[in-house]
């Protein structure tokens, strides 16, 4: 596993942070999807719950993933709201209810189950957040690379993981 640490100014648009954007561009390949695209258009197919963003779809991220066929995604960008407070704020803004399911572990488990389902064997997930959990070994993903983007001062670092789906766990051959 490779670990890289860089410094950059924070930005609420994660993929506008130059080292993160470059990391994504360097690792983006094939059919790619982004369920939390915000203003990013890096992936082949984009979604954001906010209809003011120019994305292919403007639906809840779970619903977006549920409409993708099994094992069809080569690269998935996973940059969700980083905290329960951000989830609650986002959902309330669009008249969706945020509750214990959406704010707790159950919320992330739903996403991880869908990510596991849609990503092809040997496909990758690039995850951004304040922790390095990504999708995880439990869901059949192995950490390949970790990018630490330090923002300094009172700002949390942004951690970007590159994980690959372990082919042997899912092949029936």
Q: What CATH number has the domain bearing residue 19? A: 3.40.50.150
Q: CB 130: neighbour CB atoms within 10 A? A: 11
Neighbours of 47 (CB within 10 A): 23
Q: What is the pLDDT of residue 100?
A: 41
Range of the domain at 122: 2-170
| pLDDT value at residue 99 | 47
* pTM of the model as a whole: 0.86
Evaluate whether 116 touches 131 at the Cβ level (below 8 Å).
Answer: no
Phi/psi of residue 149, nearest 5 degrees:
-110, 105
Residue 146, classed as helix, strand or coil, is: strand
Q: Is the pLDDT of residue 38 over 80?
A: yes
Among positive and negative, which fits the CA dihedral 14, 134, 56, 81?
negative
What is the tally of structural domains in the chain?
A: 1
Taking residue 107's Cβ as centre, other Cβ atoms within 10 Å add up to 19
Render pLDDT for 69-121 as a digit per residue (tens, 0 to 9). 999 999 999 998 865 665 556 655 655 554 444 445 677 889 999 999 999 99
3-state DSSP assignment of residue 140: coil
Beta-ladder partners of 143? 163
């Amino acid at each position: 596993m490779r670990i890289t640490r860089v410094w950059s100014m924070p930005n609420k648009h994660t993929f506008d942070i130059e080292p993160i954007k470059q990391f994504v561009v360097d690792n983006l390949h094939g059919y790619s999807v982004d369920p939390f695209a915000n203003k990013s258009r890096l992936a082949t197919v984009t979604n954001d719950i906010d209809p003011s963003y120019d994305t292919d779809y403007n639906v809840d991220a779970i619903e977006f993933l549920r409409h993708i066929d099994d094992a069809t995604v080569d690269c998935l960008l996973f940059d969700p709201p980083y905290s329960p407070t951000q989830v609650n704020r986002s959902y309330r803004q669009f008249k969706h209810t945020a509750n214990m399911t959406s704010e707790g572990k159950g919320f992330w488990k739903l996403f991880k189950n869908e990510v596991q389902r849609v990503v092809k064997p040997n496909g990758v997930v690039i995850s951004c957040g304040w922790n390095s959990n990504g999708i995880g070994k439990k869901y059949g993903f192995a950490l390949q690379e970790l990018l630490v983007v330090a923002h300094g001062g009172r700002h949390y670092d942004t951690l970007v993981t590159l994980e690959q789906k372990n082919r042997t766990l899912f092949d029936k051959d």
